[in-house]
Amino acid sequence: MQEATTETSADRLTAIRTRISAAAKLARRPAQDIHLIAVSKTRSAQDIEPLILEGQMLFGENRVQEAASKWPALKERHPGVELHLIGQLQSNKAEEAVALFDMIHSVDRLSLVTTLGKAMQKLGRAVPCFIQVNIGAEEQKGGCAVAELPDLLKAAQDAGVPVAGLMCIPPAEVEAAPFFALLAELSARHGSAQLSMGMSDDFETAIMLGATYIRVGTALFGERPRMM
């Protein structure tokens, strides 16, 4: 019998980088314009550190509290690491998020823009933010409505919140390309430089349609162990 091969996080990272390069080449884009965020929610420092040692420097977390429990020590050991908040942000966690994260991808409402602006002013820290657009108009999903985007961009400018670009999570189990294309169109219309879109199952499509930040979890870390 042949022994089963054990795929390491380094192997998975190499494979993802190869796929990014191939998609970028097809799209006639420089691969270095596409930034890979390793989604490390629910993963331990022991899971994360091998990727850092392989040169992966951008990581994404969904919850402020979880990130605060593991990332200060990791960032102290690895000063070049960037931490991105990709999950929904409650206004009462805004100041903590500004202190901890290097980018915030989920700004989706006026009240949060106002609170983030005050937190950034208080802490003297300008954290680039993405405006999350509810591109599929899903009631259960975060993000501002497409029609509200101009007002939210203006509010961010007025509040001193730096906007890096737009972010979306398309509806599940349908073709993502039309939603990525719409976000790219909105980005061009409003002069946004960056696009945060694409995850493990669809990042190559996102790259073809202009993604500059992709968020990959399972394809890098492997499947989470099933609960017994």
Alpha-carbon span 200 to 214, nearest angstrom? 9
Give the global pTM: 0.93
pLDDT of residue 2: 45
Q: Which CATH architecture has domain 9-217?
A: Alpha-Beta Barrel (3.20)
Query: What's CA 25's distance to the chain center, in Å?
Result: 22
Alpha-carbon span 33 to 25, nearest angstrom? 12
Q: Which of 35, 47, 44 is nearest to 82 (CA)?
A: 35
Per residue of the chain (228 residues), what is the pLDDT tens digit? 444 457 888 899 999 999 999 999 999 999 999 999 999 999 999 999 999 999 999 999 999 999 999 999 999 999 999 999 999 999 999 999 999 999 999 999 999 999 999 999 999 999 999 999 999 988 777 899 999 999 999 999 999 999 999 999 999 889 999 999 999 999 999 998 899 999 999 999 999 999 999 999 989 988 765 543
Alpha-carbon span 103 to 204, nearest angstrom? 22
Domain ranges of the chain: 9-217
Outline where 78-214 has alpha helix (H).
94-100, 110-123, 149-159, 177-190, 203-208
Alpha-carbon span 163 to 150, nearest angstrom? 12
Residues 17 and 51: beta-carbon distance below 8 Å: no
pLDDT of residue 227: 43
Quickly count: other Cβ atoms within 10 Å of residue 202's Cβ. Answer: 18
Alpha-carbon span 211 to 24, nearest angstrom? 10
pLDDT of residue 140: 74
Q: What's the length of the chain? A: 228
Alpha-carbon span 25 to 17, nearest angstrom? 12
DSSP percent split of the chain into helix, strand, coil, nearest 5: 45, 15, 40
pLDDT of residue 212: 98
pLDDT of residue 80: 93
pLDDT of residue 226: 53
